[in-house]
Amino acid sequence: MPANSPLDPAYLAHLRRDLLRFARLQLRDDHLAEDVVQDALTAACLSSDAFSGRAQHKTWVFAILRNKLIDMMRARRRTINASALEGEAGDDSIFDRELFNDSGHWTDHARPRPWPRPETLVARQQFWQLFDWCLNALPESTGRVFSMRELLEMDITEICQELGLEANHCSVLLYRARTRLRTCLSAKGLETNDAIG
């Protein structure tokens, strides 16, 4: 069984650890993080035929986790009880909303693109490993605001509501995160003109 295969136990253990770390950063609750990661992994297993292989498997599973985290944060803020969620659409509708527009055509971000060259893939993998290290080195509140804005794509108003912060403070934390990430990436040898295409 090849490394990074969805069936490789070592790969799955590493993937689960990364998913949990990201979920804990967002939710700051170990039990909720465990639940949402389990939901994401279950959805990935049940929808494995939807994985086309055009992106890395880890990226695909993180996209599922991202959707589940956003749904959970919004549900917590509205304090909806479990019975109100029973009629929610299944996991397939999440993929449909992410991949296709109302007329059934590919959305811009999901449209299939040409496959990159192998050396580009290696450079991209090295970049994301370095980025992950720098992101985890940020102070928790700074890293959390950055992740919510840039990785979960939440707007500033939503982030402020979720964290109970003033908009100005959120903006300052976001600015600090970007500055520290840039400094960290540069200090670790990434040049500003390095292309990770």
The CA dihedral of 188, 189, 195, 197, to the nearest 10 degrees, is -40
pLDDT at 134 over 60: yes
Ranges 39-43, 82-86, 120-124, 177-181: which has the least confidence? 82-86
Q: Could you give the dihedral angle defined by the CA atoms of residues 47, 72, 22 and 53, in that order, rounded to the nearest 10 degrees?
A: 20
Residue 109 is inside which H or E element, if any? none
Separation of alpha carbons 92 and 186, rounded Å: 41
What φ, ψ does residue 100 adopt, rounded to 5°? Answer: -125, 150
Domains of the chain: 1-113 (1.10.1740), 116-197 (1.10.10.10)
Say what the pLDDT of residue 193 is. 47
Local structure of 37: helix, strand or coil: helix
CB 41 within 8 A of CB 7: no
User: pLDDT tens digits for 159-183?
Assistant: 888 888 898 998 899 999 999 988 8
